[in-house]
Chains A and B, each alone.
Chain A
Amino acid sequence: MSIVADSGGPFLGRLSLHSLPFWDMLQHPTMSNIINGIIATGAASLVVIGALVVIALLTKYKLWRPLWSDWVTSTDHKKIGIMYIVIALVMLTRALIEAVLMRAQQAVGLHGGFLSPDHFAQLFSTHGTIMIFFMAMPFLTGVINYVMPMQIGARDVSFPVLNSISLGLTAAGAALVMVSLVIGKFSTGGWFGYPPYTEATFSPGVGPDYWIWALSLAGLASTLTGINFAVTIYKERAPGMKLMRMPLFTWTALCTAILMIFAMPPLTVATSQLALDRYLGFHYFTNALGGNMMNFANLFWLFGHPEVYILILPAFGVYSEVIATFSGKALFGYRSLVMATMAIAILSFTVWLHHFFTMGQNANINAVFGIASMLIGIPTGVKIYDWMLTMFRGRVRFTTPMVYSIGFILLFVLGGMSGILLANPTIDYQVHNTVFLVAHFHNVAVPGVLFGMLTAYHFWFPKAFGFRLNERWGIISALCWIFGFMGAFFPLYALGIMGLPRRTVAYAQARYVPLEWVAFLGALLLLAALLALLWQLWISIRDRDANRVFVGDPWDGRSLEWSNSAPPPEYNFAVIPSVQGRDAFTMAKENHSAYERPDTYKDIELPKNSAMGLVIAALGFALAFGLVWHIWWLVIAALLAVIASMIVRGFARDTTRLVSAQEVRREHHRWIDAVAAATAVSRANECKTVNVGLAQHQANGVVP
């Protein structure tokens, strides 16, 4: 028994009964161990039961085959995009529950609370890691995947199988983080895992290894995705889609892709060096023998700061599309917005030192990086003014995406202001590492990134699934997110100024208690927002037949993704559109050239399904799991299998299939017939069931 409990031997590496979340509780049943054991076991059970329920449902409804052929082996950018977003929503649910647990702990955290320090530390580490790498990144990658190829009039991304592999690697990383709930413990070193704390000397367990390999998988996936998106935008644009005619969302996708290519490698290098330290006794970041932890900080933030803009730029793109569409007006200052986006992308590489003003570099360096950080405020300010000027002299419709957008601008201004405060080294010396900082980055990340992605979800959902989401529950959810955010994070600004450090499981100052409770109630409202979102999805699926928008243009959209059916055919366009200017679809509607029957159709070549994504996902997971637990035979076997699978794939010659011209014609005519039969709706009725996706034509100066 003791052998099993202590070590798994050569076959199981470091795996043992100690790795189970309830083992400590059974061995040492103290009150604290029992409470923390129950929470951890509950979470682990949710993961296991959730997986079992999914398997049971798939079996019951005989969905294994469609899951295989329509989804996991699909190379269709739209399917891959949707799968990314599913991952993001699952991970969002977990990380938000963790956030509520942390806020509950801190609310009762005067001299104690119910969570052990170690458990609390795992919560903030997984919360941060998940929200950045497995919620925000998959969400924005999914949205870009779905929307960008259609916006530029392409049939797919440049490398569809690579796209599927990127998804697989992301899923493997997410699975690794989920498995850490059931087997072993996650890192306690926070989402940026500074050594030497995360070195083997101070964190000998598997936690930092879970973190390292989950990030490595996600980082590799994002690098590949960046290359894929950039090449797609450079090479796959429809005729006439010049760079300065691209919709702003595509511009932000391009900048994000470039940032991914250049920013991910420093992360991979930093985590690899840390892995060398931990596994092979190197001394990159150790205290002793010439190691220097400041190098990790430099490398990490050389990735970490551009990462912030990888996350926010696509959200800026979404807001640009949404505000123009729901103001019934062309985007104001397109050229400025493109320049501002590019400026932000470049400046994002020049500010990383502001993450450690407090490490002791001299005043010149701090002042230069402080001013550089403030410079980013200039293009960001331009964007905000241009969005406001887009609403000016427009016809603003307060739909769910617009409620998010307005909430975003107002809250983001405050987040930007606290960012400018932090860019002052003299102020940063006072609020660095306090919950003021936590409030700041949530104030840009939640209204910025999360609201942006939820806006995108509401905006493009009808396109992806062919029916609109319930508007009433959408607004309720949006308001819960907005006010929940304010409740949860505004108190943290005050608490930070009152000296409360971040990552504090308990505290001794009674003065913190009232604001901690406000923050906890805010967190509960955020949880309610998520539940409202899920409820909205449920009733929208229930009422889907009444809300179909097959014609495909429910919001009077401006760019090409609205010019096909909803959901679109797998090849996106029966005939590749020819682009005459900016806002290509609005122009087509004005020239009466939308919804045409072309004279001839051609066969369309599409990539065949491929199991590579799934294979790489499984092998990547096995490799990482073996590395975490020191199961060396598994590591070697998985590594060899990865190489073998790539070689085998290299011999695949027959990788495309044809959709015949006849089939394209049949499909297209079915849709054009539906367009002809549809009644166009005015914008006043866009959220009613009469909206089947055909927008009333907008003449200059006349409200449709």
Chain B
Amino acid sequence: MVRLAAVCGVILLLVACAGDTHLTFLDPQGPIAHQQRWHFYWVLAVMAVLVAGPIFVLLPYWAWRYRYGNKSSTYKPNWDFSRLLEIMAWGGPIIIVAILGFFVWHDSHKLDPYKPIVSKQAPLRVEVIGYDWKWLFIYPDQGIASIGTLAMPVGRPVSLHITSATVMQSLFIPALGSQIYAMGGMVSQLNLEASKPGKSLGENTMYNGNGFHQQKFTALAMSPADFKAWVIKVGATGIVLDAQTLKLIARRSTRSDLIAALPKATSMRGNVYFTGVGKTLFPAVVKATMDGTKTLPNTVFASASAATTPAKRNSGAVTEPSQ
């Protein structure tokens, strides 16, 4: 118990003096992580009181009291059964598991990552493709995409559709909520929401090769106005996502390798922004991965004319979603 308390203390201390990036669901930035934190504390408290407490008190006490050197304590070498104690030994854990089982059933449904978050605002759609070793975030309704930053407006649910163009990965933003696997040829879903502006750590937790440890991103929650400005900025400055660029992304390389290969990306502060991203790109990548084809049909890439007039496209894109 003392050790457990010490460990918890260290965690809280480190969380308290955290830097500007939020790392953990114990420092929640959205409603899902917030509820996960309470679920965690509840289960921990139930077990600390009902499971660990009695054992950590009784075991050392009995071991000492019934030590070989203590001749004054009772010694019953053949006492090996007591109906009452057996009923308690089985009954105690059964009751504890029943209590916890109720929590599991209730919260598994409440916090199901596939369940849309109830909100007055329609969710922001984001499509995520896992590459080795970076995540591509596509905003299909805005016609833009980003590597390195997942921007989202505060207070509006984000609905993520996730796939992998390579091996299995796992998309995870601890301070916002659950992680979910990305698998080739399949689409998984995740619903998150940020409740205050700020930066949260985003990462892949499923080992996928040499650049695995660098497959991080920033989940950037901002005010709706800032988000609008961000969309316009990305649209204006982004690189056209054509077949050639997508090939570069699909190479096994880290984000910094990609930036080095894209001269225009050097001014984007460690991110890579894309414009001219069609709505059919994500389903086309899912299908191509499932079919094992290397090249995507040309139709999934936005036409060159649309890409060369980003301002026009994006002014439309910003007003398009129902906010």
Chain A residues within CB distance 8 Å of chain B: 116-118, 121, 188-190, 194-197, 202, 286-289, 293-294, 327-336, 356, 358-360, 362-364, 366-367, 370-371, 374-375, 377-378, 380-382, 384-386, 388-398, 406, 409-410, 413-414, 416-417, 420-421, 423-427, 429-430, 432-434, 486, 490-491, 493-494, 497-499, 501-511, 515, 683-684, 698, 700-703
Contacts and interface: CB of A to CB of B under 8 A. Distances in A.
Given A433-B170, A503-B207, 18 more contacts: A188-B209, A194-B168, A196-B166, A196-B167, A202-B209, A329-B77, A362-B114, A364-B109, A367-B105, A378-B90, A392-B66, A426-B39, A426-B108, A498-B23, A504-B213, A505-B212, A508-B216, A684-B68
B316 interface: no
A168 B74 CA distance: 51
A468 to B, nearest CB: 17
Interface stretch (B93-101, B136-144, B221-229, B304-312): B93-101
Interface of B is mostly: mixed
B55 A413 contact: yes
A429 B51 contact: no
B101 to A, nearest CB: 4
B93 A366 contact: no
A382 B90 contact: yes
Contact of A430 (B67, B68, B174, B207): B174
Contacts of A117: 209-213
A499 B201 contact: yes
A333 to B, nearest CB: 6
Given A332-B81, A700-B77, A490 B7 contact: yes
A391 B62 contact: yes
B296 interface: no
A19 B113 CA distance: 45
A282 B24 CA distance: 41
18 contacts: A196-B166, A197-B167, A197-B168, A202-B166, A330-B80, A374-B101, A374-B104, A381-B93, A389-B82, A391-B62, A420-B100, A421-B40, A423-B104, A430-B36, A432-B179, A506-B213, A508-B216, A702-B75
B92 interface: yes
A336 B89 contact: yes
Interface stretch (B116-124, B182-190, B239-247, B272-280): B182-190
Nearest to B6: A490
A503 B131 CA distance: 18
A288 B286 CA distance: 10
Among B52, B104, B181, B206, find the residue whose CB has the most chain A CB atoms closer than 10 A. Answer: B104
Interface string B33-61: 10110011001100110011001101100
Given A378-B93, A424-B107, A426-B107, A394 B212 contact: no
Interface stretch (B230-238, B259-267, B287-295): B287-295
Contacts of B47: 417, 420-421
B159 interface: no
Nearest to B37: A430
Contacts of A189: 207
B60 to A, nearest CB: 8
A174 B226 CA distance: 59
B78 A330 contact: yes
Contacts of A358: 170, 178-181
Interface of B: 3-4, 7, 10-11, 14-15, 18-19, 21, 23-26, 33, 35-36, 39-40, 43-44, 47-48, 51-52, 55-56, 58-59, 62-63, 66-68, 71, 73-82, 85-86, 88-90, 92-94, 96-97, 100-101, 103-105, 107-109, 111-115, 164, 166-168, 170, 172, 174, 177-181, 183-186, 188-189, 201, 203-213, 216, 289-292
A329 B24 contact: no
B52 A503 contact: no
Nearest to B288: A288
Among A287, A374, A426, find the residue whose CB has the most chain B CB atoms closer than 10 A. Answer: A426
Top 4 A-B residue pairs of the complex, sorted by shortest distance between their CB atoms = A288-B292, A287-B184, A429-B178, A381-B93
B23 A700 contact: no
Among A384, A397, A417, find the residue whose CB has the most chain B CB atoms closer than 10 A. Answer: A417
A332 B80 contact: yes
A421 B44 contact: yes
Given A394-B75, A420-B43, A360 B89 contact: no
B181 A396 contact: no
B108 A370 contact: yes
Contacts of A370: 104, 108
Nearest to B19: A511
Nearest to B210: A117
Contacts of A398: 63, 67-68
Given A358-B181, A497-B11, A505-B213, A287 B68 contact: no
B108 to A, nearest CB: 4
A515 B89 contact: no
A432 B205 CA distance: 8
A382 B7 CA distance: 27
Contacts of B92: 381, 385
A335 B80 CA distance: 10
A333 B10 contact: no
Contacts of B93: 377-378, 380-382
A202 B167 contact: yes
A118 B210 contact: yes
A454 B74 CA distance: 31
Contacts of A498: 11, 14-15, 23-24
Contacts of A360: 113-114, 180-181, 186, 188-189
Contacts of A505: 212-213
A499 B78 contact: no
A201 to B, nearest CB: 9
Given A382-B93, A396-B66, A413 B167 contact: no
Contacts of B14: 494, 498, 511, 515
Nearest to A333: B86
A190 B104 contact: no
Contacts of B208: 197
B62 A392 contact: yes
B86 A427 contact: no
A318 B172 CA distance: 41
